[in-house]
Structure formats: C-alpha cells, structure tokens
Amino acid sequence: MLSPAVTGESQLVSLDSTNQPGGSGSPLFGLNQQALAARMAAIGEPGWRGKQLTEAIYRQRLTDLNEITTLPKPLRRRIAAEGWQVGRPSIVQVFQSVDGTERYLVKAGEQTVETVWMPEGDDGEAGDGSDSTDSRVPQVSTLRPGITIKLGAPDPSHLGTRDSDESQPGTGHHSTGAVGGNRFRATICVSSQVGCAVNCQFCLTAKLGLQRNLTAGEIAGQVISVFDRHAVEVGRDRVNLVFMGMGEPFLNFANFMAAVRLLVEEVGLSPRRMTVSTSGIVPGIERFAQESPEVRPKLAISLNAPNDRIREEIMPINRKWPIEAVMDAVRQVQLRPRERITFEYVLLAGITDQPEHAREVARLVRRTGLPAKVNLIAWNPGPGIAYTMPQPEAVEKFRATLAGEGIPTYLRKPRGRDIYAACGQLKRTVEG
C-alpha cells in the first residue's frame, strides 16, 4: 500500500513547504548571512553585523550569544533580552559501536533525530572507494558495544580516524583534544525528516511513518554538532556527508537544499563531498537538476531491485514513479566532470540477491547511458521486518557478477549494526 503522503501531488507539495524559523525568539542557527543581516537591520544595526553572526555561528561554532565577542557587549545583552538565541540542535545521547561508529540522538524541538558518525566511512560514499581503502589509516581504539556516554567533551581516544602521516600543524582552537593536528577521514550520515512516509518494506525508519520535516537549521545543525564533538576542522579534515539518515530528503526539498546551501556557503564545505540519496521522488530529482553545480551534492538513487516487478513489491513508491521515470529525471542532472550517479542496491536474500538479478541490474544500468556505479548494501535486519540477510557467498557472487559485467561496484560496509546505526536501522532506538 502506498502511504497517503506519496499518493497525491497535493500531499507532496504540503510536505515540501519551507519551515524556516521566523520570529525574534526563534533560533538564529539555520538563517543564512542575508537573513541574519536582515535581523540586525531590523533592530537598527548595520548589515555587516550579519557577517559577524555568520562567522560566529557557522565558522567558530559558538552556541551562546555571550561568547560572540565580535559583537559589542551592550548589543549582546540587548539581543539576548529580546529573546534572540543561537538555538543550534544539540546531541543529547551517544551510542558507540565496537567498530568506532557513533549514533547520536540530536534534539530537534520536542523530538530527536538520528545522526551517525563513521570514522573512515563505509566504503560506499566516497563513492569511488577513495575514502577508506588507504592502509595507512590506523584503526580506532577498541570500544565496548552499546555504551551510552554522558554529554560533554569527547574522549580523544575515540575521536575518529586520523591520517597520522599527513600531519599538519593544527591551528584553530577546535583542534585541541585531537591527536596532534592530524587529518580526519570520516563520514557523517544526516537525517532530513523525523520518520519517513515512503514505506519501503525493508526499512526500519518506515515504521515510524512521517512525523515531520526537519528545518534547514535542524539538518545543518546535526553536522555542526558532530563537527564540534569531534573537533573537526573544516578545510583540513576529510569528512564526507551523506544525506541518508532518517527520511526522504526530496520530500523535504526546500529545507534540505537550504541546509546544503548553509553548509556550502556559510560553513565552507564542498558539495562534492556530499551525497544525497533518494528513493526516486521524480519531482524532487527534477528540482535537484535545476540546482547549480556550485551547491549541488552528488546524487544516489535507491534502486534496490533489478526490475519494476520486484521494486514495486519492496518499494511501493515504484507504482507512482517506476524505474524508467526515475531514470528520465536523473538524466536531466548535468554531471560535473568525472561525477557518477550512484545506484544503491539492498541485497535481500532470495529476493534481490541472485546472479540473474545482478545481470539484469547490469543491463538496466547500461541502458540508462549514465556514468554510474553501484553500491551494494547487504540488508540490515530490524525488528518486525520479515526479510532475511543475504549469505556472504551470495553477496560476493552478486558483486563479482556485476563487476564482471563491467559495472563499477562497491560493497558498503555495515557500520554500527550493534547500536542500530546501519543503513535502514534508524528509528530512535534508545536501548542501543
């Protein structure tokens, strides 16, 4: 059954309205420089105060108005008295995996959403494997599974993975507590909605249904809060962002793109280090195709099946937008040099993991004419979902068959399964 949110255009439009903070008591975090300048202008301050606020909130990552010493003290007092607040979403709980992955509950209003930190990435979304195959990368220290730790400064022993032989002197105060100013390699998986309306049969997030869209500040805030926790230095550390957490980013398009713009324009991240994954929301892909390559992340499509018949069964949304319609939309995206479209493919035992499926996927991908690669994901189990994990031999055979057909194929490492942080497992599982 299609869930109501994906059966009608009107529903789609209502899901997509921007949800930006407005009044004077609302958070500053989430507003871009222009909007911050307008806030300042409205209280009779010069527009360049907007730039000072931008620097403080997004570059210095300050969370308290009082710390923004570039603003004169009386002004700080005045805006605080008027109810202004930075209002950045904060991490309220941390679950740590034996493999170094951390899953966070990040406060968004009255609810929490999930964000995942994966030192070294998952072999999938550097995309071409360049992120994590470097044997020089030291392993993170051993962690006990499922520990919930208190808030506060992270313990440097599990900050993440740093490239020890590419050390550069750490400069800013954010490098304190990190190991000798070396570079990080990590991937952050970001949520775009609380829950999801799309109802893919194999996904735990689907069980929540859609609760609400996140604002741009709540989406970008997940990234900045995790940057803070791991003392990430923008421009030095190699952190990839994947918009593959809870929710369907293209059913919250305006807020999702506003968050990306904040991360690119105000925080200083490269959109080439970001990948957004969609289940195939055609109007969303078409809007995405209109975005400038200066801010547009890379695109991943959750293909997950070799044909419409199987896809329809596991992803009811396929009845609204079948594979060919999705591919037509994807072809409208103007790719940058060397950029490829990622097709994600979840292997479900007996349903999508047979060698004939791999050959069919190869034909399908070739037919699209797109420069593409396939990221295989062995299905991660979840309570109440009646699928079976594929056998390792089936996964390997599938990979080899697809690669043998000449399709660049990567196998995504399951990260943080023990703490419910792996793909499709995000459901605010507080037990860890």
Supply the residues annotated as catalytic: 114, 423
Q: CA 306, 311, 314: angle at the middle one, nearest 5?
A: 130
Does residue 116 touch ligand SAH according to CB under 6 A? no
Binding of ligand SAH by 248 (CB under 6 A): yes
Closest CB 244 distance from ligand SAH, rounded Å: 4
Closest approach of ligand SF4 to the CB of residue 297, in Å: 16
Closest CB to ligand SF4 among residues 159, 421: 421
> H/E/C letters for each residue in the chain?
CCCHHHCCHHHHHHHCCCCCCCCCCCECCCCCHHHHHHHHHHCCCCCCHHHHHHHHHHHCCCCCHHHCCCCCHHHHHHHHHCCCECCCCCEEEEEECCCCCEEEEEEECCEEEEEEEEECCCCCCCCCCCCCCCCCCCCCCCCCCCEEECCCCCCHHHCCCEEHHHCCCCCCHHHCCCCCCCEEEEEEECCCEEECCCCCCCCCHHHHCEEEECCHHHHHHHHHHHHHHCCCCCCCCEEEEEECCCCCHHHCHHHHHHHHHHHHHHCCCCHHHEEEEECCCHHHHHHHHHCCCCCCCEEEEECCCCCHHHHHHHCHHHHCCCHHHHHHHHCCCCCCCCCCEEEEEEECCCCCCCHHHHHHHHHHHHHHCCCEEEEEEECCCCCCCCCCCCCHHHHHHHHHHHHHCCCCEEECCCCCHHHCCCCCCCCCCCCC
CA distance 163 to 183: 5
- By a kind-dependent CB cut-off of 5 to 8 A, residue 16 interacts, out of ligand SF4, ligand SAH, none, with none
Site membership for ligand SF4, residue 200 (CB under 6 A): yes
- Closest contact distance (angstroms) between CB of 292 and ligand SF4 is 26
Q: Does 196 bind ligand SF4 (CB under 6 A)?
A: yes
203 lies in the binding site for ligand SF4 (CB under 6 A): yes
x/- map, 228-267, ligand SF4, by CB under 6 A: -------------------xx-------------------
- Which residue in 256, 288, 379, 410 binds ligand SAH (CB under 6 A)? 379
Q: Which of 300, 386, 384 is nearest to 348 (CA)?
A: 386
From 32, 182, 380, 401, residue interacting with ligand SAH (rule: CB under 6 A): 380
Contacted entry of ligand SF4, ligand SAH, none for residue 341, CB cut-off 5 to 8 Å set by kind: none
Minimum distance between the CB of residue 174 and ligand SAH, rounded to whole angstroms?
Answer: 29
C-alpha to C-alpha distance for 204 and 103, rounded to whole angstroms:
15
Contact between 206 and ligand SF4 by CB under 6 A: the answer reads: yes
Give whichever of 196 and 239 is closer to ligand SF4, judged by the CB atom: 196
Residue with smaller CB distance to ligand SF4, 138 or 322: 322
Would you give the binding string for ligand SF4 spanning residues 261-300, x where CB under 6 A is met? ------------------x---------------------
Count interface residues toward ligand SF4 (CB under 6 A): 12
Q: Which is nearer to ligand SAH, 156 or 381 (CB)?
A: 381
Q: Is 277 in the site for ligand SAH (CB under 6 A)?
A: yes
**Judged by CB under 6 A, does residue 16 bind ligand SF4?**
no
Q: Which does 379 bind (CB under 5 to 8 A by kind): ligand SAH, ligand SF4, none?
A: ligand SAH
Residues that bind ligand SF4 (CB under 6 A): 196, 198-200, 203, 205-206, 247-248, 279, 302, 424
Residues that bind ligand SAH (CB under 6 A): 202-203, 244, 248, 277-279, 302, 304, 344, 346, 377, 379-380, 382, 423-424
